[in-house]
Amino acid sequence: MNKSHIDRDLDLKTVGQKPTRFGYADALLALGEADPRVVVLDADLAKSTLTGRFAEKFPGRFFDCGIAEQNMLGIAGGLALAGKIPFVNTYGVFLAGRAWDQIRTSVCYGELNVKVVGAHGGLSVGPDGATHQALEEIALMRVLPNMRVIVPCDSNEARKATLAAAKLDGPVYIRLGREPTPVITTEATPFRFGQAETYRNGRDVAVFACGLMVYLALIAAEKLAQLGISARVINLHTVKPIDEKLTVKAAMECRAAVTCEEHQVMAGFGSAVAEVLARKCPVPVEMVGVRDSFGESGEPWELLKKYKLTDEDIVKAVVRVIKRKKQR
């Protein structure tokens, strides 16, 4: 169905790769042109988060707040109170974690129009190791009232998500990655905030994924097809507010679900899906994600393998969930 909207060549050796932060940086430049209210803040990581590109073009609208994330959130809140649309940037750990109370009280409680953009989400951060691999932001952010959470699956989607976030009034968290990851969507692929997209049709199992895991879920679905299992793959880029309608419909039709996230399974993306399914369509669910542990140093793809976040792990989870479905 919607497969025409995603890139057909998914072979890791040949698929184009780009970090999601690239798409984000492009969107910031476009927003800078389009809306003078857009301002950008960083905490001494403008080269890494790529906000430096915005700073070069719009120096009067870029504020480096130094290595002081809690204050940066407050400065952003204050700018929002003065009518600006601030985009706040640093690594996810230092935003969602270190500045959580500022996001809670100053930004979310006050319903301030602040966009919080966490770079370096997930294990794929790689060699920097556990301290810099954010594995908790989805949980920390989605629990906050008024906060919206988007996890783009690739660079193209990161660009669209950023443009969409700018149009929303109020707080939004966008989770980005460091490493080049497969670009699976095209310019034409639809992105609608709050609406999940089915990237592959299937009837035996609904595979829900966000971020990099969407790509891996598509690869897994190819492999499952060879085993005679028809897997539906859904890109749930907006984790909050979650697309309940499409989530329930997919579970209703497939009668089994697997969730995939580059994040702790506890309270994270899989939990968000499970919260919906437990209430509205309780089918067997298996979760692929990090299991209550920190990451470590290593190359991105090595880490995904070690922490069981590969396409093969998704295949195994699907096989498990289908077995459970048959036992019911």
Partner 1 sequence: MNVSRIRDTARQLRRDIVEMTHCAGSGHPGGSLSAAEIMAVLYFHVMRHDPARPQWEARDRFYLSKGHACPVLYAALGEDGYFATAEFKRFRKLGSLLQGHPHRLKTPGVEASSGSLGQGLSLAAGTALGLRMDKRKSRVFCLLGDGELQEGQVWEAAMAAGHFRLDNLCAVVDYNNLQIDGAVEQVMGLAPLADKWRAFRWNALEVDGHSVDALVSAFDRAANTRGKPTVLLAKTVKGKGVSFMEDKAEWHGRAPNREEYEKAMEELT
Number of residues that bind partner 1 (CB under 8 A): 31
Does the footprint of partner 1 cover residue 252 (CB under 8 A)? no
13's torsion region: left (phi>0), alpha (psi -120 to 50) or beta?
alpha
Task: Give whole-number Cα distances, 170 to 45, 61, 112, in Å.
Answer: 24, 20, 5
Choose the binding region for partner 1 from 59-67, 193-201, 250-258, 275-283 (rule: CB under 8 A).
Answer: 59-67
Please report how close the Cβ of residue 30 comes to partner 1 at its closest, in angstroms. 20
Does the footprint of partner 1 cover residue 57 (CB under 8 A)? no
Does the footprint of partner 1 cover residue 77 (CB under 8 A)? yes
Q: Select 60 or 228, whichever has its Cβ closest to partner 1.
A: 60
Asked, as a colleague might, if the bond just before 241 is cis with ω within 30 of 0, I would say yes
Tell me, rounded to whole angstroms, the distance of Cα 110 from its chain centroid: 24
Decide if 247 contacts 283 (C-beta within 8 A).
no
Please report how close the Cβ of residue 41 comes to partner 1 at its closest, in angstroms. 9
* Measured distance CA(155)–CA(40) in Å, rounded: 19
DSSP letters, 77-125, are: HHHHHTT-EEEEEEEHIIIIITTHHIIIIIIIITT---EEEEESBSGGG
Decide if 155 contacts 22 (C-beta within 8 A).
yes
> Which of 78, 170, 180, 194 lies at the binding interface for partner 1 (CB under 8 A)?
78
Q: Select 148 or 159, whichever has its Cβ closest to partner 1.
A: 148
For the beta carbon of residue 45, count every other beta carbon within 10 angstroms: 18
Q: Write the interaction track for partner 1 spanning residues 85-124; mark x where CB under 8 A is met and - where it is not.
A: -x--------------xx-xxx--xxx-------------
For residue 69, indicate whether it is catalytic.
yes
Q: For residues 93-108, b (16+ Cβ closer than 10 Å) or e, as one string? A: bbbbebbbebbbebbb
> Which of 25, 75, 150, 217 lies at the binding interface for partner 1 (CB under 8 A)?
75
Burial class for 149, CB neighbours closer than 10 Å (0-12, 13-18, 19+): buried
Please report how close the Cβ of residue 32 comes to partner 1 at its closest, in angstroms. 14
Give residue for tokens 């070690």.
Answer: 306
> Which of 81, 143, 225, 227 lies at the binding interface for partner 1 (CB under 8 A)?
81
* Measured distance CA(132)–CA(121) in Å, rounded: 8
Choose the binding region for partner 1 from 74-82, 89-97, 192-200, 285-293 (rule: CB under 8 A).
Answer: 74-82
> Which of 31, 46, 55, 80 lies at the binding interface for partner 1 (CB under 8 A)?
80
For the beta carbon of residue 157, count every other beta carbon within 10 angstroms: 25
Does the footprint of partner 1 cover residue 79 (CB under 8 A)? yes
Please report how close the Cβ of residue 5 comes to partner 1 at its closest, in angstroms. 39
Q: Write the interaction track for partner 1 spanning residues 8-47; mark x where CB under 8 A is met and - where it is not.
A: -------------------------------x--------
Determine the 3-state secondary structure of 29 from DSSP.
helix
Q: Select 111 or 299, whichever has its Cβ closest to partner 1.
A: 111
User: Which residues participate in catalysis according to the annotation?
Assistant: 69
Q: Summarize as ranges the residues that interact with partner 1 (CB under 8 A).
A: 39, 60-61, 63, 65-66, 68, 70-84, 86, 101-102, 104-106, 109-111
